[in-house]
């Protein structure tokens, strides 16, 4: 008989890794898993109900049109974190100022900050392409009962206590790390549970896939242009040319490269000199996962996890993936 280990069982087994947490971190991860199941249900029936398209004239903090599912996912994760009582503040892509949860009785003693992109790649939802959720968890620095400070919220990536993503695709997976390796769980719809399917995930040190939006080629730095040409050149000694794969959903691109080996590049451009991806709830959590899986994550000049945030929605360039491929990109940039 095959033994199935659920996400809940796995989290409880690993609880001893965090003696200071006393179960709160486990419950917080459980709350995120519950919200993910609800969002997954809506994503899977999006074509059957009135949940496709934009949410009227509303936009997020970046002036981007909000999809109905963006708003729905944001509401579900915030609701789950509020009712769970372990989270005191949520920084979301869909919320300009973030959401303080300690104003409710259940969260008044909460010790954790959650940064989240509720529905990454939502522009793909109407064409049935994989989308995802990205989350990052920090432990607050101030004492419980005190007002939250900037130091509580604007922490570096190395201070994350957990991070992960959920990919809503042909199967739904939750992949997360607590700094002790990366594990993946696939949702079994027959029992409604995430089950361990990919233990101790490791990204290959090299690969044949490069993921970049080549439509922005003319706006890229010269080093990135040179790297793309390198990927396209034929060389049997280095298994080139490489394969270009870019989905436009960071979670989907990262998940594929994590399993198969590859590099994901979203550099600064002449139009976006600071990059486009957000540090707190996209780059930091993904960088934590990639490094824990044996890969590398950099802006092109510095390690992503060591950047001290200066604002909630700060943007940074990102080069993440197989260590040999990232190093080759850096070689061209230098």
DSSP states of 314-333: -B--EEEE-HHHHHHHHHHH
**148 marked among binding-site residues:** no
CATH level 2 (architecture), domain 209-333: 3-Layer(aba) Sandwich (3.40)
**276 marked among binding-site residues:** yes
* Model-wide pTM > 0.85: yes
**223 marked among binding-site residues:** no
Q: Would you give per-residue pLDDT tens digits along the chain (334 residues)?
A: 467 899 988 988 887 777 666 678 888 998 999 999 999 988 887 655 554 555 455 555 555 556 788 889 999 999 999 999 999 999 999 888 889 987 766 777 899 999 999 999 877 777 778 899 999 999 999 998 888 999 999 999 999 999 999 999 889 999 999 999 999 999 999 999 999 999 999 999 999 999 999 999 999 999 999 999 999 999 999 889 999 999 989 999 999 999 999 999 999 999 999 999 999 999 999 999 999 999 999 999 999 999 999 999 999 999 999 999 999 999 999 9
Query: What is the model's pLDDT at position 154?
Result: 96
Cα 309 from chain centroid? 17
Residue given tokens 């000199």 in the structure block: 273
**5 marked among binding-site residues:** no
**282 marked among binding-site residues:** yes
Residue spans per domain, the chain: 7-198, 209-333
**275 marked among binding-site residues:** no
**142 marked among binding-site residues:** no
**281 marked among binding-site residues:** no
Superfamily of structural domain 7-198: Fructose-1,6-Bisphosphatase, subunit A, domain 1 (3.30.540.10)
**7 marked among binding-site residues:** no
CA–CA distances in Å: residue 50 to residues 126, 155, 239: 12, 38, 47
What are 302's two structure tokens? Answer: 């510095």
**321 marked among binding-site residues:** no
Burial of residue 170, with CB atoms counted within 10 A of its CB: 0-12 exposed, 13-18 middle, 19 or more buried: exposed
**121 marked among binding-site residues:** yes
């Amino acid at each position: 008989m095959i033994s199935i280990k659920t996400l809940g069982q796995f989290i409880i087994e690993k609880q001893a890794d965090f003696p200071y947490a006393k179960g709160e971190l486990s419950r917080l991860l459980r709350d995120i898993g519950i919200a993910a199941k609800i969002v997954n249900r809506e994503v899977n029936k999006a074509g059957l109900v009135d949940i496709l398209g934009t949410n009227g004239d509303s936009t997020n903090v970046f002036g981007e049109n909000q999809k109905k599912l963006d708003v729905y996912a944001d509401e579900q994760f915030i609701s789950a974190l509020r009712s769970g009582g372990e989270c005191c503040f949520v920084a979301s892509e869909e919320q300009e100022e973030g959401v303080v949860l300690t104003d409710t009785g259940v969260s008044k003693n909460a010790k954790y900050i959650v940064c989240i992109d509720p529905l990454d790649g939502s522009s793909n939802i109407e064409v049935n392409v994989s989308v995802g959720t990205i989350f990052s968890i920090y432990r607050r620095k101030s004492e419980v009962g005190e007002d939250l400070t900037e130091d509580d919220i604007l922490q570096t990536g190395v201070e994350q206590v957990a991070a992960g993503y959920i990919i809503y695709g042909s199967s739904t997976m939750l992949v997360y790390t607590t700094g002790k390796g990366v594990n993946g769980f696939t949702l079994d719809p027959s029992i409604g549970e995430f089950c361990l399917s990919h233990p101790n995930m490791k990204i290959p040190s090299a690969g044949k896939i490069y993921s970049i939006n080549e439509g922005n080629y003319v706006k890229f730095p010269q080093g990135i242009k040179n790297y793309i040409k390198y990927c396209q050149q034929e060389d049997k000694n280095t298994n080139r040319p490489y394969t270009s794969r870019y989905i436009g959903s960071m979670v989907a691109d990262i998940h594929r490269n994590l399993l198969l080996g590859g590099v994901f590049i979203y550099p600064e451009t002449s139009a976006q000199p600071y990059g486009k991806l957000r540090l707190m709830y996209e780059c930091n959590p993904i960088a934590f996962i990639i490094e824990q899986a044996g890969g590398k994550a950099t802006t092109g000049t510095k390690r992503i996890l060591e950047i001290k945030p200066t604002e909630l929605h700060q943007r940074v360039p990102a080069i993440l993936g197989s260590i040999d491929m990232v190093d080759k990109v850096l070689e061209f940039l230098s």
